[in-house]
Structure 1
Amino acid sequence: MEFGYRIFDSYLINQIDLPLIQISVLRTCEADIQRVKILADLIRSAGKRFVIHPMDVNLSDTQKVVRERNLSQVKRFAELADLGLIIHDELLPDRQRLRGEWLENYRAGLAELEQICPVSIENARDSRNAPWFWQTLARQITFDIGHFESEGIDSLDLVNTLSPELIQKINFIHLHRSNGLKPNGLIDHWPLTPECRELKTLRKLAELKPDLKVILELDTAQDILESRRALRLESLL
């Protein structure tokens, strides 16, 4: 396994001695595109690899103008990407799984992005239907362990039900611990602790697919330090 961490700005690029960085992007406006360009140059200068994770993509939007604007902006991130993009799964407005026009819009947008760079699909908005979404649309998978746990899904049990085909598509792991509500409103981005279930799931995934890239999706250098300590105690790092 190869380990890395996420950033939103330049602060941690040279503060953490891990070789992989995820540039997380909350929006897809022009200012964010320019910011990602700067971050990409800084990461290359630091001798590290990176993946870009735009969060507000909405490939399935049925408003053509909105969908095409979103796709155009995300394509610019794709052109900057080193190891590719990570994008979220999506839902219908009524929170049901994609179907019909929405499904075909997502499929078409994904195909356009994949002409530029590899694209890995993360379980984020609909973890309960993630295996279906991945089976239907994904060439590559980002398995977010904490998102499954925060939805009340035993992530280790889930791994044991996935087909070998889906396991082989997993290239990124998002790793963080689900532990109730944080001050920022997130319930699943806590630092890891020894023997937490998330680490048991990571161990199983690593047995099945040893070449995984693991992103510590945490908020502070201290959280990353605590999590690396837990990984070492469990002989995973």
Structure 2
Amino acid sequence: MLVGYGILAGETVKVSSPGIVQISVFKEWDGNISGAVNTSTYLKSLGIPAVFHPVGYFLSETREEVRRQNMDALLYLAKHSTQPMIVHDETTPWSTPLVGQYEEAYEEALKKITEHCPVSIENASNTLDVTRFWHRFASSITLDIGHVQAAGIDSETFVEELDSDLCSKVEFIHVHRANGPHYNGVTDHWGLTPNCKELKALRKFLKRNSNVKIILEIINKDDVRESLALIEDVVREVNYAVNTGN
């Protein structure tokens, strides 16, 4: 297991020797594709794996010019990727499951990206429907435990009941805490606490599949070190149980 955390494109890595770093690029914040690639190159020189996580570059986009812009950005990142690219599940513009031209557009975009790097699909847009979405599209899964809890689903039950086929496809886990709205209205991505549901769910999932990379995704960077330490405690506990047969 690798344990690391997420940063924004161009942001400085402040934790020494993380096991892995996720670089998020938000289109709505004007993106920073070149900054993401530069950060990835720097991390690679240090021997630290970097994962690109583009947000807002919708794979199901059907407007020709917007789709071209999205795909240009996604393919540029894909060509510079050394890890799978993490993308979101998606819905139609009216928040229903992808069908017709939207489903075809998403599938076509996946095929183009995977010519350059693998793709891992995260539950973000519609966690209530994500198991169907994963069965339909995913060869690799990013399980966001915080999004499960924020969607009103008990995250411990979710990871226990996730079917074995999907469980085996989980390659990345996003961990953060659902704890009500931040200043920007986001209701999750809080730092972890010792007995939070999300940590308990992580522990239960790792007992089913420990061959994963764990990424902390929180807004308050002052909480990164403490939250990483809590994750690492869980990892040590699970590793001990596996090694001793307990």
TM over 0.5: yes
- Which residue number in structure 1 is paired with residue 244 of structure 2? none
Name structure 2 gaps, 5 residues minimum. 238-246
Question: Are the equivalent residues in 1 in contact too, given 2:145–2:198 (CA < 8 A)?
Answer: yes
- Which residue number in structure 2 is paired with residue 101 of structure 1? 101
Distance, in Å, in 2 between the alignment partners of 1:11 and 1:93 is 31
Question: Are the equivalent residues in 1 in contact too, given 2:43–2:50 (CA < 8 A)?
Answer: yes
TM-score by length of 1: 0.93
- Which residue number in structure 2 is paired with residue 123 of structure 1? 123
- Which amino acid is 1:169 matched to? K
Bigger drift between 71-80 and 9-18 goes to 9-18
- Which residue number in structure 2 is paired with residue 46 of structure 1? 46
- Which residue number in structure 1 is paired with residue 2 of structure 2? 2
Please give the secondary structure, in 2, of the residue aligned with 1:51: strand
State the shift of 1:183 in Å: 1.8
Instruction: For residues 42-80 of structure 1, give each alpha carbon's deviation from its aligned partner in whole angstroms, at most 9, with x where no partner exists.
Output: 212222111100001211122233223211220001111
- Which residue number in structure 2 is paired with residue 212 of structure 1? 212
- Which residue number in structure 2 is paired with residue 159 of structure 1? 159
- Which residue number in structure 1 is paired with residue 181 of structure 2? 181
- Distance change (3 Å), C-alpha of 1:231 and 1:36: closer
TM-score by length of 2: 0.89
Which structure 2 residues correspond to residues 63-102 of structure 1 after superposition, within 5 A?
A: 63-102=63-102
Instruction: For residues 91-118 of structure 1, give each alpha carbon's deviation from its aligned partner in whole angstroms, at most 9, with x where no partner exists.
Output: 1111111111111110111011111101
Question: Are the equivalent residues in 2 in contact too, given 1:195–1:234 (CA < 8 A)?
Answer: no
Please give the secondary structure, in 2, of the residue aligned with 1:57: coil
Name structure 1 gaps, 5 residues minimum. none
Please give the secondary structure, in 1, of the residue aligned with 2:76: helix
Question: Are the equivalent residues in 2 in contact too, given 1:89–1:123 (CA < 8 A)?
Answer: yes
Bigger drift between 21-30 and 151-160 goes to 21-30
Identity %: 36
Distance, in Å, in 2 between the alignment partners of 1:175 and 1:31 is 23
- Distance change (3 Å), C-alpha of 1:192 and 1:90: same
- Which amino acid is 1:7 matched to? I
Which structure 2 residues correspond to residues 19-34 of structure 1 after superposition, within 5 A?
A: 19-27=19-27, 32-34=32-34
- Which residue number in structure 2 is paired with residue 60 of structure 1? 60
Instruction: For residues 3-32 of structure 1, give each alpha carbon's deviation from its aligned partner in whole angstroms, at most 9, with x where no partner exists.
Output: 011111455425333120001101289972
Question: Are the equivalent residues in 2 in contact too, given 1:16–1:221 (CA < 8 A)?
Answer: no
Q: CA RMSD in A?
A: 2.0
